[in-house]
Every structure is written in C-alpha cells, then in structure tokens.
Amino acid sequence: MADTRKITVTVNKAPYTRTVETRLTLADFLRHEIGLTGTHLGCEHGVCGACTVLLEGRTARSCLMLAVQADGGNIVTVEGIAPNDTELHPLQQAFQDNHGLQCGFCTPGMLTTLIEFLGDNPDPTEIEVREAISGNLCRCTGYQGIVDAALDAAKRMRK
Amino acid sequence: MKPPPFTYHDPRTVAETVDLLAQLENAKLLAGGQSLMPMLNFRYAQPDHVIDLNRVDGLSYIRAESGGLRIGAMTRHRDIEFSDVVRKACPLMADAIRFVGHRQTRNRGTIGGSLAHLDPAAELPLVCATLDATIHVAGRNGERAIPMAKFPQGYMTPAIESDELVVAVSIPAAPARTGFVEFARRHGDFAIVAAAVALDIANGAIKSARIALGGVGPAPVRCTEAEKMLAGQKPTADALRAAAETCRSIEAMEDVHAPASYRQHLATVMTRRALEAALG
C-alpha cells in the first residue's frame, strides 16, 4: 500500500487540497497534480535550478522537497509572478526587452531566483547578480542577456 | 515518481523522533533535503522510512554562549549567513557559509544535516573541526556531546548511533583572525580543497594557529604539523610558506575530480592563502 497524505498547499494565492503519495516531490505535485507546468524539471537532483519556486517568499528547489513538506505552506511559481493576465512583472518585461530568454527552459527558475534576490538586494552589482544565479544553469549559455535583464529590472523596480 | 516508496513520518518533538528511530528499521532522517533528496531521486538511498525533522520544535536557533555560539541542528544555512550573532562570535563560519552551495541550497540546507551527512569537502564540518566544536546528539538515554575531533569515524560516517540525531553544535570562543578559502571547479560546487585558519596573534607573533583542510582526506583534517611550526613565530611570508608546505605530506583522496598529488598541491596553496587571508 502506498503511503499517502491529504495535504493543502496554497499556490499563487489559491488553495489546493489533494491526497498524494508521500514520496511525491513538490515539483511533480505542482506539475502533475495541479497542472502548473511552468515550473520546469531539468536535473531533478538540485543542480540546474530550473524547478526553483518561492516557499514563504524564499527560493527552494522543488525537486528537493516532498509535496507533504509544503502542507500548510504558501508557494509562488512562475505563473504567480505577473500582477494580472495582461501585464508582465517588471522582471519579466526586462527579460523580454534584454533578450533574457532563448529556449526559455531555465527562465522560470531564473525569474523566481531573481525575485527573491532583488527583494534582498534592490541595487546589485553585476558580480552579485552572477553569484545570485550561480545555482541556475542556462544551457543556451545566454547568461549575458539574463544578467542585463536582472540589472535592468533592478533599475525599473527601484523607481 | 523519482524517490523509492517509503513511509513518511513528521514528528513534532525530539523525544518523538528518538522513539521513531528506535522503533523503525532502515529509517533516514530528512533535514534540509539538499543531500538526501538527490540520493532519493537517484535511488541511491532506499529507506523504508523517512523521518522529517522540519516540523520538530526547538531545533532552529542561534545563541551566543560563553563567548562562542550554540546553533540548533535545523538552523538553515541562510539564517547563519545573515546572522549578526554569527558574524560577531564566529567570523570563520560567516566567511565559510558563503561557499556553501547556492542561494536555493542555503535557504533549505541545515547545519545539522551537513554534519550528519559529513561530505569530506563540506564547509561547516571543516569550520567545526578548525574551532574544536562539540556536536550534541540526542538518543534514548538523553543527550551526549561528541568533540568534533572524534565525530567523523570514516568517509561520510559520523559517530552517531542509529537511534540518535544531531540536535545542536556548540562552537567555543575563537580567535578573531580567521581565513577561509577554497578551490572549486564551479561557483557553489563542493571544494576540491578548502582551508580554514584561525590565528591567535599577540605582540606581532602567532601565539597559536588552528589550521584544517577539507576535501583532502575522508573527513576534515587538522594540519597539526603546520600548527606547531607556526606557534610562537612571527608571521613572515617565509614562515607561512614553510608551514603550508608541510600539508603536502597529508594523505589525500583520489577520485574522478583530482588525483591525490593535485589535492596535496592544493593543500599547500590553500593553506598559505587562508593564512594570508587571516593575517590580511
């Protein structure tokens, strides 16, 4: 018999209650149980950063958490970053304007990581930005555009 | 589904956790999950039971204690990184923590998890070895204290019984002149070699030196020969270089990342740089 638990997790301000196997990762919960496929899975062992989400405002790799551990918790995924259906978050807009995306696979992790980082450090140097995204791999190697976007977003968000 | 099937437990107290450890066969403790979760996803680890420590009360704190620190096992790397108490009482740990993984890793990873996992290149066990920390573990017969020098029993094997868990680490008051450097292939990776140094300086001379290396042996090693050589010496460039050179004879591991001779070379370079950083 599979070990299951009934959990309630708030994702992008909406509560979701599901009965899940306790070995289900948070990443698979987000993608398969509630259908939010914006959170990407690259390596599934905590190297690539693509699955990064915000848990209580702090970034976490959702492949390295069990869904049961998020029971009662508050999660924001890439789908929850924009203020509404028609507008982009300033960070997303900066990514578009600075060619911060190529294939887009790493983008959800880059965005969630940078949202936390720019909250902690609203006026970062380029080196600080590069260090902040050191746990996020872009296999298009499009880092320059991503760093430019982060610095541009910081400027826009300070206004 | 990536992890193998297991039964999940989320105790609320240390006593409950100890009871579970005593009752259950083939159980694994889940702290920050930055090492165990990859091992589960790869199915390197196939526990029948996972005991999650994240809802256990009273294991997350940083306290100044008799000039040093006491840190609860479930204190996250992030809390150590941003703690003024740590920066003041243990600058070596404050310096070392910035080398631990990445932002996402530090948000979840814990000091107790790092000690129990005991990766040979992990930064916090290295700091604990350098500063003669004490590891507090709880079991059925209450708590016991293990000096860090006796904590590693071998490669990734801490001196913890199967029904015990790490509950806290205490770090004695340490000299203020400290240095931490490491060499890794990529930012945030485990070091190939890391060096930690704490110096007690009086009247322009080194009164005593504590030097330890990570990534060289199966667990952090103290460079006792270099420590002895520097005691009572003026910190000249020649004295530092000669002391660092003694680290070349430390027995080193060989693996896919680097041969033993390269680790021994790095041991001398990292030791010298850590000494220079401490004096800088």
Q: What is the pTM of this model?
A: 0.96
How many inter-chain contacts (A to B, CB under 8 Å) are there?
A: 93
- Number of neighbouring beta carbons within 10 Å of residue B88: 12
Q: Do A135 and B104 make contact, defined as CB atoms within 8 angstroms?
A: yes
Closest residue in A to B36 (Cα) is A64
DSSP B126-157: HHHHHTT-EEEEEETTEEEEEEGGGSEEETTE
SS3 B101: coil
Report yes or no: B59 and B112 within 8 Å, Cβ to Cβ. Answer: yes
d(CA B69, CA B170): 6
Residues in chain B: 280
- pLDDT exceeding 70 applies to what percent of chain A? 99
Chain B hits for A117, Cβ within 8 Å? 103
Q: Indicate the burial class of B39 (C-beta count within 10 angstroms; 0-12, 13-18, 19 or more).
A: middle
In the prediction, which pLDDT does B189 show?
A: 86
Closest residue in A to B190 (Cα) is A47
Closest residue in B to A68 (Cα) is B8
Q: What's the mean pLDDT when you consider all of chain B? A: 96
Q: B203 is written with which tokens?
A: 């009247």
- Number of neighbouring beta carbons within 10 Å of residue B134: 18
- Quote the crossing angle between the two packed helices A107-120 and A90-97, to the nearest 10°: 120
Residue in B40, B54, B187 nearest the CB of A69: B54
Could you read off the pLDDT of B114-129 as tens digits, one per residue? Answer: 999 999 999 999 999 9
Q: What is the mean pLDDT of residues B156-168?
A: 97
Chain A hits for B186, Cβ within 8 Å? 134
Probe site for chain B from A41, A59, A111 (most B CB atoms < 10 A): A59
The ipTM assigned to this model is: 0.95
Chain A hits for B30, Cβ within 8 Å? 66
Task: Specify the DSSP element, H or E, that contains A58.
Answer: strand A58-61
Chain B hits for A6, Cβ within 8 Å? none
